[in-house]
């Protein structure tokens, strides 16, 4: 939820939001900014892709790094990391590609024909675990950014960004005349910020002894995302977007 918290904090400096809804588990939130007639919603979903007429809920990638069973309709077509007999095992790039393709297809095929509907894709923001991952001793205790020469632009994080960009460009080619697509490309910048995670300071009472090298500190590098988004929205209002 860190990015959403950052967004609310930053734009509250311009307009005082009304807290419209909060569920008991803090998984669904809704704020209304009356000055600009703007509604911000945070929606948590146990499914990676769900399509409805007015909402498309996707994920940016981190939830794919676990055992998954892939279905097409009601048919099991394979899995990721399951290693089960008689079940086709796929690499993670396939479900990520199909998830973004499905999301963009739903947006392009939506019956909402409002002119100027803007879809923004935020690219993958990498985790920075070293010497392991979250559940086997991985940590992130760096205290300064990496230089561009030190960042690993051949990593799988960069490959995920490439998949996103390929599906983004595909969606732009297939879009209708009333669709606008823009990209919020944060991957390069965030690859260089291993110092921006909570690490062992995240304070999760249910996950003591583990490091959080996936989410971002506030304030921190993630503040940049809201600045990028604001600039993109200003360009949208001025009619100078690229798509």
69 and 29 in a common domain: no
The residue among 76, 71, 96 whose CA lies nearest residue 86 is 76
pLDDT of residue 2: 60
Angle (CA) 155 95 61, round 5°: 50
pLDDT of residue 169: 93
78 and 39 in a common domain: no
Residue 227 structural domain: 61-238
Q: Measured between alpha carbons, how far is 24 from 212 in angstroms, rounded to an integer?
A: 24
203 and 102 in a common domain: yes
What's the mean pLDDT when you consider all of the chain?
82
144 and 218 in a common domain: yes
80 and 174 in a common domain: yes
139 and 98 in a common domain: yes
pLDDT of residue 43: 76
For residue 50, being part of any structural domain is answered with: no
79 and 38 in a common domain: no
The sign of the torsion formed by the CA atoms of 132, 135, 137, 143 equals positive
For residue 35, being part of any structural domain is answered with: yes
Instruction: With a cut of 70, list the residues of the chain below it in pLDDT.
Output: 1-3, 45-63, 112-116, 176-178, 203-207, 240-243
74 and 37 in a common domain: no
182 and 74 in a common domain: yes
Give the chain's domain count. 2
132 and 78 in a common domain: yes
pLDDT of residue 236: 76
The single residue listed with the structure tokens 């010497």 is 131
For residue 192, being part of any structural domain is answered with: yes
pLDDT of residue 83: 86
104 and 36 in a common domain: no
The single residue listed with the structure tokens 């960069």 is 158
For residue 55, being part of any structural domain is answered with: no
For residue 167, being part of any structural domain is answered with: yes
């Amino acid at each position: 939820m860190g990015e959403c918290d950052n967004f609310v904090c930053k734009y509250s400096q311009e307009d005082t939001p009304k807290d419209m809804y909060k569920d008991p588990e803090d998984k669904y939130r809704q704020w209304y900014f009356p000055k600009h007639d703007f509604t911000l919603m945070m929606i948590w979903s146990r499914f990676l892709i769900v399509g409805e007429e007015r909402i498309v809920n996707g994920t940016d990638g981190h939830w794919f790094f676990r055992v998954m069973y892939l279905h097409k309709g009601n048919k099991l077509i394979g899995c990721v990391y399951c290693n089960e007999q008689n079940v086709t095992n796929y690499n993670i790039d396939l479900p990520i590609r199909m998830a973004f393709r499905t999301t963009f297809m739903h947006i392009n095929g939506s019956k909402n024909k409002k002119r100027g509907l803007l879809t923004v894709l935020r690219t993958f923001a990498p985790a920075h675990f070293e010497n392991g991952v979250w559940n086997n001793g991985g940590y992130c205790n760096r205290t300064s950014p990496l230089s561009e020469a030190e960042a690993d632009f051949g990593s799988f994080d960069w490959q995920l960004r490439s998949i996103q960009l390929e599906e983004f460009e595909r969606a732009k080619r297939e879009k209708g005349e009333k669709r606008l697509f823009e990209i919020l490309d944060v991957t390069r910048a965030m690859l260089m910020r291993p110092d921006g995670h909570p690490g062992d300071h995240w304070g999760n009472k249910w996950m003591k002894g583990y490091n959080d090298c996936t989410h971002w500190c506030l304030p921190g590098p993630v503040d940049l995302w809201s600045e990028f988004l604001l600039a993109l929205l200003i360009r949208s209002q001025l009619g100078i977007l690229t798509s």
